[in-house]
Copies of this chain bind each other. A is one copy, B any other.
């Protein structure tokens, strides 16, 4: 199989194109795709820890920590030591963070809708299913 026809390449190219579109959409908010993803999880899980957030975003705790440092510097999230547990640090969106997220997420939702419109409903479901299956297979390798 020539490398240009490998499924690995198809997935890679599609991801590059879609994430790049997401990056362009987020630029006006000063956010990167990774930051927006972390904020989306945070908006659903008040007071989550960094390690849990990393698992939800499917990155390492170290990667998540570096993202959080940047978001904290800008006053988008705040980290407070857990009241009972000595090691844990609870993470929350600040008020400014919630406002920024609401605006940015609406823009991302708009992009996602535009992407989805290039496929009909059946195709969209098929694509999600096939991507899930091939992702699961990859994890077993």
Contacts and interface: CB of A to CB of B under 8 A. Distances in A.
Total identical chains: 2
A141 B111 CA distance: 8
Interface stretch (A7-15, A47-55, A70-78, A90-98): A7-15
B17 A15 contact: no
Interface in A64-82: none
B10 A128 contact: yes
**Chain A: interface secondary structure?**
helix
A46 interface: no
Contact of A7 (B6, B8, B12, B115): B115
Contacts of A116: 7
B113 A13 contact: no
Contacts of A123: 130
A135 interface: yes
A12 to B, nearest CB: 6
Interface of A: 1, 3, 6-8, 10-22, 24-25, 37, 40, 58, 105, 108-109, 111-119, 123-124, 126-128, 130-139, 141
